[in-house]
Amino acid sequence: MTTPATSTSGHRSAERPGSDFAELSHRVRAAGLLERTPVHYVLRATALAAVAVGLLTAFVLLGSSWWQLLVAAGVGVLAGQLALLAHDLAHRQVFRTRRPSQAVGLVVGNLLLGMSYGWWMDKHTRHHANPNHEELDPDVAPDIIVWSQRQARSARGIAKVVAPLQGRLFPLLLTLEGANLHLSAVRAVARPGLKQRRLETSLLLAHAAAYVGLLALVLTPVQAVAFVVVQKAVWGVYLGGIFAPNHKGMPTFTGQDRPDFLRRQVLTSRNVTGGLLVDIGLGGLNHQIEHHLFPSMPTPHLRRARPIVKDYCAEIGVDYAEASLVESYAQALRHLHHVGAPLRT
C-alpha cells in the first residue's frame, strides 16, 4: 500500500455471510434505503430540461453577442449536471434493469454530452472495484498528473514537467477535462471491442452536428470558438470540482494490497460535509463513502445512509473521513503538491 491506512451490488456476493459489510448491508436494507426513488428522478430530469430550454432560448434571442459567453458558462454547468444524471443511470439508481439504464444513459452521455457512455462505464466500473489502487484503478493511472510519489519517480515526458507544480496547476488543467472526454470518446469508438460501437458513433456524430450547427447558425466564427472554449472549460472545472475531493489525498494501494470490500471502499473515500446546496452541486457524490459501499443506492437516500454508515464504522473501528468543501479541496491540492516532491529535488 502506497499510503498507509488505519483501521456495487455486484460486490456483495464476494462477501462472506458474517462479514462486516454483510451486517452493514442488512441495516441499510432494513432502513429501506436501496428502494428506487422515481419521483426524485422525474423532478430532476424535468428541472434539467427546463434549464436547457431556458439556455437555448437565451442563446437564440441573444444572437451574435458576446453575452453568449454567459450562456456558454451556463451550458457548462448544465453539462456537469447531465453527467451526474448519466452517472446515476450507469449505477442503476434510476431503473432497476440494464436495458432502460443503458438506453437513457446513451442518450444523455453520447447524444447530449458527446462522451462515450460505454467507455466511461468500463472505466468507472474498474474504479469502483479497486478505488485508489495504482495498478487497477484507471482514475489514478499516471498521465499528465501523477497520484503518488512512486509514480512521480518514474514520470516521463510532460508529466515530469507538470508534476513538480501540479498542486498549483491542477485547477488550470481541469479546464481541459471536457475536451479530454470528447477525445476519449473518439478513441473509444475508433477501436474495435466497444459494445454498440455503431450506435455510440452515430449518437456522437449527431451531437457534434447539432452542437456545431447551432453555433454556426447564430455566432460569428470567433464567437463560436470563444463559446466552445468557455463551455468546455467550465464543464471540466465543474466535473473536477465534483470528483477531485472524493479520493485524492486518501490512501492508495499497490500490488497485492487489497483489504476487504468495506475497508477498500471506506478507507479510500472522503465525504464532503454541507447542506442541500452541496448535495445539489455535487450530485450526492459528497456522500462518497455511502455511494462506494452501495453504488445502486439512489442519490436522495445517500444522506440518510450517512449516520448508519458512520456509526457502524465507529463500531468496528474503521476510519470515516469527512471534511468541508473548502477543506476537501485543500487536502486534495496539498496531496498533489506532496506527491510531486521527488521531482522538485
Mean pLDDT of 118-145: 95
- Half-sphere exposure of residue 107: CA atoms within 13 angstroms, side-chain side: 8
**CB of 84 within 8 A of CB of 235?**
no
Tell how many helices (H) and how many strands (E) occur in the chain.
17, 2
Using DSSP, state whether 143 is helix, strand or coil: coil
CA angle 303, 3, 124 (to 5 degrees): 50
Letter for the amino acid at 16? R
- At 216-242, the pLDDT tens digits run 999 999 999 999 999 999 999 999 999
Percent of the chain past pLDDT 90, that is, above it, reads: 90
The pTM assigned to this predicted structure is 0.91
**Displacement of CA 78 from its chain's centroid (Å):** 15
Mean pLDDT of 170-176: 96
185 is written with which cell numbers?
A: 470518446
Separation CA 143–CA 159 (nearest Å)? 6
Kind and range of the H or E run holding 291:
helix 288-293
**Displacement of CA 77 from its chain's centroid (Å):** 14
Does 11 have pLDDT greater than 70? no
Instruction: Of 256, 283, 271, give the one whose Cα is nearest residue 313.
Output: 271
323 secondary structure, DSSP code: E
Does 16 have pLDDT greater than 60? no
The neighbour count for residue 254, using CB atoms within 10 Å, is 17
Separation CA 232–CA 25 (nearest Å)? 39
Domain regions of the chain by residue span: 9-343
140 secondary structure, DSSP code: G
CA angle 249, 242, 67 (to 5 degrees): 135
Cα distances (Å, whole numbers) of residue 198 to 29, 109, 113, 221, 317: 39, 15, 17, 31, 49
Which residues does residue 272 pair with via DSSP β-bridges, in sequence order?
A: 323
Mean pLDDT of 327-335: 96
